[in-house]
Amino acid sequence: MPHSIVLYDNADWRKHLFPFTASRPVGNLRVGLCTLNEKWNKLFHCPVSYHTAEYLQLSFPLHPSPAADILILDARLLPSEMLLQALDSLKLGEVLMDGSRWLAARVDRYPDQLEKELRQLKPIQLSFSPSCIHFPEDIFRYNKEQLLADFKLLTKGRSSASLSSSNALYGDWLFVEEGAQLEGVSLNSLKGPIYIGKNAQLEEGSFLKGYVGIGANARVKTGARLYENVSIGPGSTIAGEVNNTVMWGNSAKGHEGYLGCAVIGEGCNLGAGSSNSNLKNNWKAVMLYDYKEENLRDTGLLKCGLMMGDYAMAAINSSFTTGTVIGCAAQIAISNFIPKFVPDFCWLTDQQKEAYILEEFFGMLARRKQAGAADNLHDMAIFNHIFAETKEIRDRIINT
């Protein structure tokens, strides 16, 4: 077993995953019940750190073991039984390959020049292509399989807390952590697992159909309908109709409206009545804005909804068209359909388009904290970097 794991994403390809990896390493993405770093930590029982973009390193540092046995992973990798078998078989001085692309390496010290030194290791070709998060839509696409894997990982050898008789349970694929509160809830686990995190609150009249994961301290409001393939992160609030969606921590969609084939970042808010479309009327494949290509990219998917970066917020009755990308800290209050791409720190209303002033954004974060929001606050230097990095595209949108 390795003594430590390093999740590597210090490469151009990480920009394909913006806006989500603008504010965090790829290895900190949440897919299923856990973030990628949490998965690897629980699977290998060793410390996990990041080799990521320089501006993220203060908040997400690199801490490999000073010597001995280090496993370096392409941070986009998703754990699976077949991949774990291949990693267990990997020896010191070997690098696991998928064609010409390296996936994992086992070394006795962390290389000074990673890409160069990996080429000197003994290549071991993988006989299959593992699941990877290459683009934002892959987060909800792979969420179902990761929900199942994480459910097994988190509940193995453990017993669920008891369930009140006021709830209606169909099937027995349910795990409830201690402190969770649920009364008068309908839970259908006949076809997939349902996981309820510690101190989560599920209000009467809510309906969950596995595969569903509810994080610690999250709230599911009365009348919520959560269909197959939904992950709600710690501290988040959810209501309305939701399917094929991943919402990260401390975000809120607290009222009616539809959310589907979507990924919602940390600290976001969707106002009452907000909905997204996930299917085009002409049934053509959905195009999604790609930060690396600086253009629309064909996802090849018939269904793809809303991709919303950290701390973006939308007013009541916001209408998101199929394949909309909203950057970090964007603020939206538009009565018509919202543009398919809204850059980071862009403030849009019916009357004007302008930049969200950084000092006002930081003030908002401070007020959230004072009000009791348990945000996973990042170093302010990260948001300063995002603001500067996106100035050109933001100015272009504002001035058109």
Last residue of a domain, one of 117, 133, 149: 133
- Regarding whether 166 and 51 lie in a shared domain, the answer is no
Q: Do 185 and 277 have their domain in common?
A: yes
Are 121 and 40 within one domain? yes
pTM of the model: 0.95
- Could you say which of 111, 133, 155 is where a domain stops? 133
Summarised one tens digit per residue, pLDDT across range 345-362 is: 999 999 999 999 899 999
Between the alpha carbon of residue 116 and those of residues 121, 324, 381, the distances in Å are 10, 38, 30
CA quadruple 176, 251, 37, 27: dihedral positive or negative?
Answer: positive
Note whether 74 and 198 are same-domain residues: no
The proportion of the chain whose per-residue pLDDT surpasses 70, expressed as a percent, equals 97
Q: Name the band, by pLDDT with cuts 50, 70 and 90, for residue 372.
A: low
pLDDT given at position 216 = 98
* Residue 368 confidence (pLDDT) above 90: no
Going by their DSSP bridges, the two strands 70-74 and 4-8 should be labelled as parallel
* Same-domain check for residues 182 and 208: yes
Strand (E) or helix (H) holding 263: strand 258-264
Question: Domain holding 334: CATH number?
Answer: 2.160.10.10
Per-residue pLDDT at 309: 98
Q: Residue 15 pLDDT more than 90?
A: yes
Q: Which domain holds residue 376?
A: 138-398
- pLDDT the model gives residue 66: 67
Confidence grade of residue 295 (pLDDT, cut at 50, 70, 90)? very high
DSSP 229-244: SEEE-TT-EE-SEEEE
Same domain, 320 and 288: yes
Instruction: Tell me: do 129 and 163 sit in the same domain.
Output: no
pLDDT of residue 151 exceeding 90, the answer is: yes
Could you tell me if 243 and 94 lie in one domain? no
Q: What is the DSSP string of 320-385?
A: EPTTEEE-TT-EEE-SSEEPSEE-TTEEEESS-EEE--HHHHHHHHHHHHHTT----PPPHHHHHH
Q: Are residues 244 and 376 in the same domain?
A: yes
pLDDT at residue 118 tops 80: yes
Domain co-membership, 176 together with 218: yes
Q: Is the pLDDT of residue 364 over 90?
A: no
pLDDT reported for residue 302: 97
Examine the fold and report which residue of 133, 157, 191 is the final residue of a domain before the chain moves on: 133
pLDDT at 329 over 80: yes
Mean pLDDT of the chain: 94
pLDDT at 289 over 60: yes
Which CATH number goes with the domain that contains 111? 3.90.550.10
> Minimum mean pLDDT among 101-115, 188-202, 322-336: which range?
101-115
pLDDT confidence tier of residue 232, bands split at 50, 70 and 90: very high
Query: 143 and 91 in one domain?
Result: no
Could you tell me if 116 and 153 lie in one domain? no
Mean pLDDT, rounded, for 316-322: 96
Total structural domains within the chain: 2
